[in-house]
Amino acid sequence: MFKILLEQILNGLVLGSMYALVASGLTLIWGTMKMLNFAHGELYMVGGYILYFAFTLLGVSPFWGILLAIGIAFAVGLFLERLLLHPLMDKPGWDVSPLVVTLGVSIFLQNFALKAWGERFKSVPYFIEGTMELAGFRIAYQRILILVVTATVMVAFWMFVKRSRFGVALRATAQDREAATLLGINAHRIYMYTFGISSALAALAATMLAPIFLINPWMGISPLLKAFIVVVLGGLGSFGGAILGGFLLGTLESLSVVLLSSEWKDVVSFAVLILVLFFRPSGFFGTREW
Amino acid sequence: MRRGVALVTRRGKGVAVLMVVLLALPLFIQDPYIINIMIFSLLFGVLAVSWNLISGYTGIFTFGHQAFFGVGAYLSALLSMKLNLSPWLGLPLGGFAAALIGGFIGLPCLRLRAAPYIAITTLAFSEIARIICMNLVGLTRGEMGLWGIPAFPDFTLPGGLEVSFSGGNRTGYYYVLLLIFFATTGFVAWLLRSHVGLAFRAIREEQEAALSLGINSTRYRLLSFLISSFLAGIAGSFYAHYILILTPTSVFSVGVMSEIIVVVLVGGLGTFWGPVIGAFSLTLLLEYLRTFGEYRFMIYGAMLVATILFMPKGVASKIFPEKG
């Protein structure tokens, strides 16, 4: 029993790292633009399909496939922000309008995928075959790869936001847009790139998970709902909170599969979300914006 | 002042004409296909009007209306199947059950102000409702679907006119739903003119200012949740006894919520006629686009985006410019 629990916790961490990736994109957008992106799950889905087509049509290696997916998702993100969100900003109704516009994009992309690519689930091979044995545990290399990639990307992204010129500009805009503009930062360009980066993070998560889960038009719905839970747990807008929240939710889910059953694990997650919102709406590190 | 009075009477005439047309429609058109479309327009009308009350007028942008619709549908269906309760009783009971859930969902939302937080909270609740409905296979048969739901029992009107709900005749259903629709829109219109409606709008505009004027914001926001969910529950109950088969996906899915949002936003959020216009025009449009297959939902999504970008106040504001 103890061994099963440990194994599940490990699985939970792998899953949680993906939740953290998806959620960090969502929280990044909230932190800078003060909006919730309902199309985030569909950007994730687009990432999965690009990987699939990179494999089947171009026949490239996983590395180039992932890079292509990230690149295209980044471009789609830029495009969406410039075309749909930029015109709505600074107008009355900004609290609700991005929610509705991104919901429209989400409906559109889901049904576009259904029409263009069909409802049949598509699978891609594992990037690395085989399993590793470690102290009696068996772990697939793919899962280890997921953990390593997430950790690397998170650290790299953290450094990027803390150290680079763009990162400083990003944080400045998030803190006080007017002051940042006065200092010569083009806030709208920051928003555009933020959206692009957020989309790229979602696409990266999708490509890493594609061999484990299958690719289909609705694959983005569940990660988006999970990411909502994670960002609230961590506090909307908090990057560290999204990572901590992601790992916590992954572990919680895996444990509730063992202790309860897989059918009820989502109820546990949503119930935790509601309890957090009821007793501590700001999450771990959130601000008083609720 | 004089102009205001004239405006009211003109609008009053318009409403009277609309009512007569809707009442007389089955006398001229008996085609069950068209009656079915009209029934769905009215059903979405009730759902849209009820969601608009909380999201458009009270300013609480909820994302969980499908839970109220689903609870009303499943409760009424199960009561009539397991306990042989009359579907007529199921209508109000479905509404009350939904209102109970609505109050429960509303409670944690009372502390939240930011739209994204409220959207996430209500979405989480409705997902819990969907999963519970899916997992209680012994009661609801889960994804296999609940079928064999009894239709409304036939009855005879005092004049000797028989109202039948069996077979291919849908006119009876049409009139029942039309009554629900009139009652809903009439009630909401009355509510919005009363001090309650004024309080709702005051809370939407500026919560602190409303508080300072002595409006008990918590109480009114909860009231808004209760009324809105009650109306959606009745719509759900009607749907169950009309369509006669329920699955968790058909009533509890986020897709139901998306359709309500499209209807209200395209029609006009926070306007009285917006949801009604949206429900009729979009249901008819969707039917017209049926030949386009999956494209129609792409068009739906694109329309939502276009509305927000180019006509944020919706179609209704173009037809009936409303003051305040």
Q: Give A54-66 pLDDT, tens digit per residue.
A: 888 888 888 898 9
Does B195 touch chain A if contact means CB atoms closer than 8 Å?
no
Tokens 């990736």, residue located: A21
What residues does each domain of chain B span? 32-251
From chain B, the residues in CB contact with A35 under 8 A are 116
Handedness of CA B269, B201, B117, B43 (dihedral sign): negative
From chain A, the residues in CB contact with B308 under 8 A are 88, 97, 100-101, 104
* pLDDT for the residue A42: 93
Chain B interface test: which of A34, A40, A108 (most B C-beta within 10 Å): A108
From chain A, the residues in CB contact with B262 under 8 A are 104, 107
Q: Which residues contact A30 (CB under 8 A, 6 or more apart)?
A: A36, A231, A236, A237, B116
Average pLDDT score over chain A: 86
Q: Stretch A138-165: mean pLDDT, rounded?
A: 86
* pLDDT for the residue B2: 46
Determine whether the interchain pair B124/A229 forms a contact, defined as Cβ–Cβ distance below 8 Å.
Answer: yes
Paired tokens of A79: 């495009």
Burial per residue of A124-159, b for 16 or more beta-carbon CB atoms within 10 angstroms, e otherwise: bebbeeeeeeeeeeebbebbbbbbebbeebbeebee
Chain B interface test: which of A42, A111, A256 (most B C-beta within 10 Å): A111
Number of Cβ pairs < 8 A linking chain A and chain B? 127
Paired tokens of A188: 């709208």
Determine whether the interchain pair B116/A30 forms a contact, defined as Cβ–Cβ distance below 8 Å.
Answer: yes
What residues does each domain of chain A span? 18-219
Per-residue pLDDT of chain B (324 residues; tens, 9 = 90+): 444 445 556 677 778 888 888 888 887 887 888 888 899 999 999 999 999 999 888 888 899 999 999 999 999 999 998 898 888 988 999 999 999 999 988 888 887 877 888 888 899 999 999 999 988 888 888 788 888 888 888 777 777 677 777 766 788 888 889 999 999 998 998 988 888 888 888 888 777 777 777 777 788 888 999 999 999 999 999 999 998 889 998 889 888 898 899 999 988 888 888 899 999 988 888 888 877 766 778 888 898 898 888 888 877 777 766 554
* pLDDT for the residue B321: 62
Determine whether the interchain pair B305/A109 forms a contact, defined as Cβ–Cβ distance below 8 Å.
Answer: no
Q: Stretch A121-137: mean pLDDT, rounded?
A: 78
Decide which of B5 and A78 is more confident.
A78
Determine whether the interchain pair A228/B127 forms a contact, defined as Cβ–Cβ distance below 8 Å.
Answer: no
Asked if B23 contacts B29 with a C-beta cutoff of 8 angstroms, the reply is: no
Instruction: Note the maximum CA span of chain B.
Output: 63
Asked if A63 contacts A55 with a C-beta cutoff of 8 angstroms, the reply is: no
Does B174 touch chain A if contact means CB atoms closer than 8 Å?
no
Phi/psi for A139 (5° steps) reads -130, 130
Smallest CA–CA distance, residue A210 to chain B, in Å, is 24
Three-class secondary structure of residue B215 per DSSP: coil
Distance, CA of B61 to CA of B54 (rounded, Å): 7
Helices then strands, each counted (H, E), chain A: 11, 2
Determine whether the interchain pair B294/A111 forms a contact, defined as Cβ–Cβ distance below 8 Å.
Answer: yes
Paired tokens of B86: 């009359």
Q: Which residue of B has its CA nearest to A236?
A: B117
Decide which of A273 and A236 is more confident.
A273
The rounded Cα A7 to chain-centroid distance in angstroms is 24
Smallest CA–CA distance, residue A105 to chain B, in Å, is 6
Closest CA to A21 of A239, A270, A221, A192: A239
Determine whether the interchain pair B308/A36 forms a contact, defined as Cβ–Cβ distance below 8 Å.
Answer: no
Asked if A34 contacts A26 with a C-beta cutoff of 8 angstroms, the reply is: no
Q: Which residue of A has its CA nearest to B264?
A: A100
Determine whether the interchain pair B308/A106 forms a contact, defined as Cβ–Cβ distance below 8 Å.
Answer: no
Give the global pTM: 0.88
The rounded Cα B142 to chain-centroid distance in angstroms is 24
Q: If pLDDT is split at 50, 70 and 90, which confidence band does A289 have?
A: low
Smallest CA–CA distance, residue B115 to chain A, in Å, is 6
* pLDDT for the residue B45: 94
Chain B interface test: which of A37, A103, A218, A232 (most B C-beta within 10 Å): A103
Paired tokens of B112: 């939240």
From chain B, the residues in CB contact with A277 under 8 A are 108, 111-112, 117, 120-121
* Radius of gyration of chain B from its Cα atoms, rounded to whole angstroms: 20
Q: Which residues contact A78 (CB under 8 A, 6 or more apart)?
A: A192, A193, A195, A196
Residue count (chain A): 290
Beta partners for A122?
A: A215
Helix crossing, B32-52 with B171-193: angle to 10°?
20
Handedness of CA A206, A211, A214, A215 (dihedral sign): positive
* C-alpha distances out from residue B2 to B7, B8, B44, B255, Å: 9, 10, 36, 46
Distance, CA of A69 to CA of A285 (rounded, Å): 31
The answer, yes or no, to whether residue A127 has pLDDT greater than 50, is: yes
Tokens 């399993």, residue located: A131
Smallest CA–CA distance, residue A236 to chain B, in Å, is 9
Determine whether the interchain pair A273/B120 forms a contact, defined as Cβ–Cβ distance below 8 Å.
Answer: yes
Determine whether the interchain pair A277/B120 forms a contact, defined as Cβ–Cβ distance below 8 Å.
Answer: yes
The answer, yes or no, to whether residue A170 has pLDDT greater than 90, is: no
Distance, CA of A200 to CA of A191 (rounded, Å): 14
Smallest CA–CA distance, residue A31 to chain B, in Å, is 12
Q: Please name the member of B128, B254, B304 whose beta carbon is closest to the beta carbon of A270.
A: B128
Q: Which residue of A has its CA nearest to B265?
A: A100
ipTM (interface pTM) = 0.87
User: Would you give the DSSP letter of residue A215?
Assistant: B
Asked if A18 contacts A222 with a C-beta cutoff of 8 angstroms, the reply is: no
Closest CA to A18 of A254, A206, A232: A206
Q: Please name the member of A93, A107, A266 whose beta carbon is closest to the beta carbon of B127.
A: A266
Beta partners for B146?
A: B246
Determine whether the interchain pair A99/B119 forms a contact, defined as Cβ–Cβ distance below 8 Å.
Answer: yes
Three-class secondary structure of residue B120 per DSSP: helix
* pLDDT for the residue B295: 79
Does B125 touch chain A if contact means CB atoms closer than 8 Å?
yes
Distance, CA of B181 to CA of B16 (rounded, Å): 14
Does B138 touch chain A if contact means CB atoms closer than 8 Å?
no
Three-class secondary structure of residue A281 per DSSP: coil
Three-class secondary structure of residue A134 per DSSP: strand
The answer, yes or no, to whether residue A288 has pLDDT greater than 60, is: no
Smallest CA–CA distance, residue B268 to chain A, in Å, is 13
Q: Which residues contact B161 (CB under 8 A, 6 or more apart)?
A: none
The answer, yes or no, to whether residue A163 has pLDDT greater than 90, is: no
Closest CA to A160 of A3, A23, A28: A28
* pLDDT for the residue A195: 92
* pLDDT for the residue A75: 95
Determine whether the interchain pair B116/A100 forms a contact, defined as Cβ–Cβ distance below 8 Å.
Answer: no
